A = this chain, B = another copy of it.
């Protein structure tokens, strides 16, 4: 009912002790006599005081208990993209020892930003566009950072994937099967997310796309690559329709840069009356299970998404505890499904 919320000084005054004493009653940092503690607690109850204001405490302590997880693009991908989701689960696990909350942020100018959020540490996820700039800001703030799948410079711990090697392995598998008319369906090349055939002089701001494409090109240097506007079944469908529009010139194998894209390509193949594996080979990347794809099991490169996230979380925890955090590179493993086969004569 009072006009103003009670502060610790109010409580202290009511209890007849100093504010500092009331403070330690709540923090427990220093022994306090039972009698005093009780008086303080009673006063607090009386005044409806529920404990120190976190804002003031964090200013004073210099810690907020918040770890930022920064994404490129819309926040919804966090919840909708299966790989990101699994990775986030790992991050949550990795920072568990810190008891920190995860603050979801995006890599743009919308609030809250890296600049305006009270972070103890940050995990940058696949942020490539403004990465350097973000890093500079965080560094000058003295906020420890870990980067997942992005190049942030020498002294920033990075959690990486062997994207190029993995995609090369898959491409080799496809070539070994005997395919020659092969096309890649890629993730977006840059923030514009433009769909279409990728020109040879394409600039990439998305490292994952660039690296997986490089692995593909290691095996099929002259093959075409069609960029999608995102990693979804719908995008894969759109790309697939382009590929299968001309029955004569269609590829015998499609190497997609994500399982979601591959699933869409498969759908397009079905639309076009093609039998997957028999008429056209389709491979994925990530190793997440895609819903509703039965009876197909994607032939794909499985990545340890949860481990990646966990490693990032643990790295952040280490840095916050003053320990060193090392970079780490994870490896994908080939997973055979039933969507790849030798081309039909």
Contact = CB atoms under 8 A, between A and B. Distances in A.
Nearest to A290: B291
Interface in A51-73: 51, 53-59, 62, 64-66, 68
A63 B53 CA distance: 12
Interface stretch (A97-105, A146-154, A329-337): A97-105
Interface stretch (A28-36, A110-118, A186-194, A204-212): A110-118
B289 A50 contact: no
Interface residues of A, number: 56
A324 interface: no
A55 B64 contact: yes
A48 to B, nearest CB: 5
A96 to B, nearest CB: 8
A142 interface: yes
A79 B140 CA distance: 32
Contact of A93 (B51, B76, B101, B290): B76
B79 A88 contact: yes
Nearest to A288: B291
Nearest to A92: B75
Q: 6 closest A-B pairs (Cβ-Cβ)?
A: A99-B111, A294-B294, A65-B112, A54-B118, A75-B92, A101-B112
16 contacts: A5-B141, A49-B140, A50-B140, A54-B112, A54-B117, A55-B55, A55-B64, A64-B118, A65-B116, A75-B92, A79-B89, A79-B92, A85-B85, A290-B291, A292-B294, A294-B295
Given A75-B92, A101-B104, 8 more contacts: A50-B141, A55-B55, A55-B58, A66-B117, A79-B85, A99-B111, A101-B105, A291-B291
